[in-house]
């Protein structure tokens, strides 16, 4: 257990004067400021006066290093964080930008997505409240990450999924020994999550409110992304593009930059850009229509991990406080972003390149974007739905029988290889 956390209390995003003790985590949103229409999440406050400024001087990156500015951590680390920030000419040149574009590759985490930073904090809270286990409602990255940290902590984990999750996702969840139950109705899943929390004493790792509030300790884990970016660049980026669903990542990363600005570690803070699929875009809608929360239609999108219908308070706050914006990208822009990112050596799932798709959308719309630009890339291409379901495409093949020509076999094979390289792959051979 880390003993150097400077965490002090929980504070409402509905009203900063509404605070609660640090323990227990308020997992039903803010009891005082929430209304029937809008439920407000809580965040964690710290004794910032006591932060050693030396904390930010070097680039040594280990998640536990940041424990003064995190909720108390249990000793259940799996090597989360310390992901690389990679300058990607394949994106900067493509978009004809005169400022460098960096990609923060969150697929290099223990369960190959950014969610591990959140779950290190949330499962630590479960350990410290002597919970009997973890319960989470998810059909993908988040549930598997919760299950991995629960396993590491020696706690059982119950994952409530929708039916029809792909076999590989089932295997991903089961490998960490999670108890998986499929429940076909969203409201019934939420009701079951509540019952498992209240009656069985399990700690909830996903939201319990209709308007997403999530776990108050979760976005704290994402702050470490901002810390890592700043210690790498030795300055604030100009603009940060973030794949956005419930905006826990957006808010957490923003909060990290805000803290670094307040602590005087950086001059100025970046503009935060929420990147949502144009098929949905609830946060963009909320901002356009000046509403605290907006709900949109459930149009289809391949960005399955961020296809939310309802915006959140965290999303709005991050945009407002950072003088940011919400950009929506088309499915075509998302595919182009995935291809271009892989052409630079990083393969991400569709949702994972939403930040790069948002940058593309901004450039396509003629926006100027202050540099340095950072795009968060959140999850491995192995998790992409298409990886499991795309029709089998066999490569061009050369077999022994192809060599039975009048030429010597080797000569015939070599001619066939050159033909394939030239005509099918366009190589100059």
Contact string 35-74 vs a second copy (x = CB under 8 A): -----------------------xxxxx------------
Asked whether 252 and 264 are in contact (CB, 8 A), the reply is no
CB 181 within 8 A of CB 160: yes
Q: Which is nearer to a second copy, 274 or 303 (CB)?
A: 303
For the segment 146-165, give every residue that binds a second copy (CB under 8 A).
148-149, 151-152, 156, 158, 161, 163
Identify the helix (H) or strand (E) that includes residue 161: strand 157-161
Q: Minimum Å distance from CB 194 to a second copy?
A: 10
Q: Work out how close the CB of 417 gets to a second copy at its nearest, in angstroms, rounded to a whole number.
A: 6
**Tokens found for residue 344:** 């630079």
What is the three-class DSSP state of 278?
coil
Q: How far is CA 279 from the centre of its chain?
A: 19
* Residue 183 contacts a second copy per CB under 8 A: yes
Choose one: 21-29, 289-297, 312-320, 382-390; the region binding a second copy (CB under 8 A): 382-390
Binding residues for a second copy, how many (CB under 8 A)? 86
| Residue 185 engages a second copy in binding (rule: CB under 8 A) | yes
Q: List, in order, residues 6 or more apart from 359 with CB less than 8 Å away.
A: 91, 95, 101, 241, 273, 275, 337, 369, 373, 375
DSSP 8-class letter at 337: H
Which among 105-113, 301-309, 318-326, 359-367 is the span making contact with a second copy, rule CB under 8 A? Answer: 105-113
Q: How far is the CB of 191 from a second copy (least distance, A)?
A: 6
Rg (CA), the chain: 23
Of the pair 112, 241, the CB lying nearest a second copy is at 112
Residue 95 engages a second copy in binding (rule: CB under 8 A): no
**Beta strand 202-204 pairing with 157-161:** unpaired
At 20 the three-state DSSP class reads strand
DSSP track, 365-377: TT----SSEEEEE
Is 427 one of the binding residues for a second copy (CB under 8 A)? yes
**One of 50, 297, 392, 406 touching a second copy (CB under 8 A):** 392
Nearer to a second copy, 369 or 412 (CB): 412
383 binds a second copy (CB under 8 A): yes
């Amino acid at each position: 257990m880390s003993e150097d956390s400077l965490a002090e209390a929980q504070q409402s995003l509905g009203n900063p004067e509404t605070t609660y003790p640090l323990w227990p985590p308020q997992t039903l949103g803010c009891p005082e400021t929430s209304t029937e229409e809008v439920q407000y999440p809580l965040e964690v406050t710290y004794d910032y006066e006591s932060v050693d400024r030396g904390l930010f001087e070097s680039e040594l990156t280990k998640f536990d290093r940041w424990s003064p500015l995190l909720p108390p951590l249990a000793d259940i680390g799996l090597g989360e964080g310390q992901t690389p920030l990679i300058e990607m000419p394949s994106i900067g040149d493509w978009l004809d930008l005169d400022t460098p574009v960096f990609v923060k590759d969150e697929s290099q985490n223990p369960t190959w997505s950014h969610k591990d930073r959140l779950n290190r904090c949330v499962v630590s809270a479960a350990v410290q409240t002597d919970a009997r286990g973890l319960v989470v409602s998810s059909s993908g990255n988040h549930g598997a990450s919760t299950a991995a940290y629960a396993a590491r902590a020696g706690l059982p984990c119950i994952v409530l999924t929708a039916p029809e999750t792909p076999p590989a996702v089932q295997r991903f969840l089961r490998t960490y020994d999670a108890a998986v139950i499929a429940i076909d109705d969203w409201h019934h899943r939420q009701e079951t999550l509540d019952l498992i929390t209240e009656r069985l004493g399990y700690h909830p790792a996903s939201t319990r409110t209709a308007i997403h509030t999530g776990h108050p300790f979760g976005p704290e884990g994402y702050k470490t992304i901002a810390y890592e970016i700043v210690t790498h660049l030795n300055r604030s980026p100009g603009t940060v593009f973030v794949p956005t669903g419930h905006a826990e990542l957006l808010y957490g990363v923003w909060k990290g930059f805000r803290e670094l600005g307040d602590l005087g570690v950086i001059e100025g803070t970046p503009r935060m850009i929420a990147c949502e699929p144009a098929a949905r875009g609830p946060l963009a809608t909320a901002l356009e229509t000046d509403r605290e929360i907006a709900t949109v239609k459930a149009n289809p999108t391949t960005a399955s991990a961020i296809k939310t219908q309802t915006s959140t308070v965290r999303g709005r706050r991050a945009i407002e406080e950072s003088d940011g914006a919400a950009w929506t990208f088309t499915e075509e822009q998302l595919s182009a972003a995935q291809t271009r990112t892989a052409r630079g050596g990083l393969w991400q799932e569709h949702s994972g390149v939403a930040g790069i798709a948002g940058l593309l959308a901004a450039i396509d719309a003629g926006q100027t974007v202050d540099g340095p630009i950072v795009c968060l890339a959140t999850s491995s291409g192995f998790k992409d739905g298409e990886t499991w379901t795309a029709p089998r495409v066999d490569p061009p093949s050369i077999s022994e029988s192809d060599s039975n020509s009048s030429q010597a076999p080797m000569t015939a094979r070599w001619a066939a290889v050159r033909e394939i390289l030239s005509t099918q792959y366009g190589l100059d051979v």
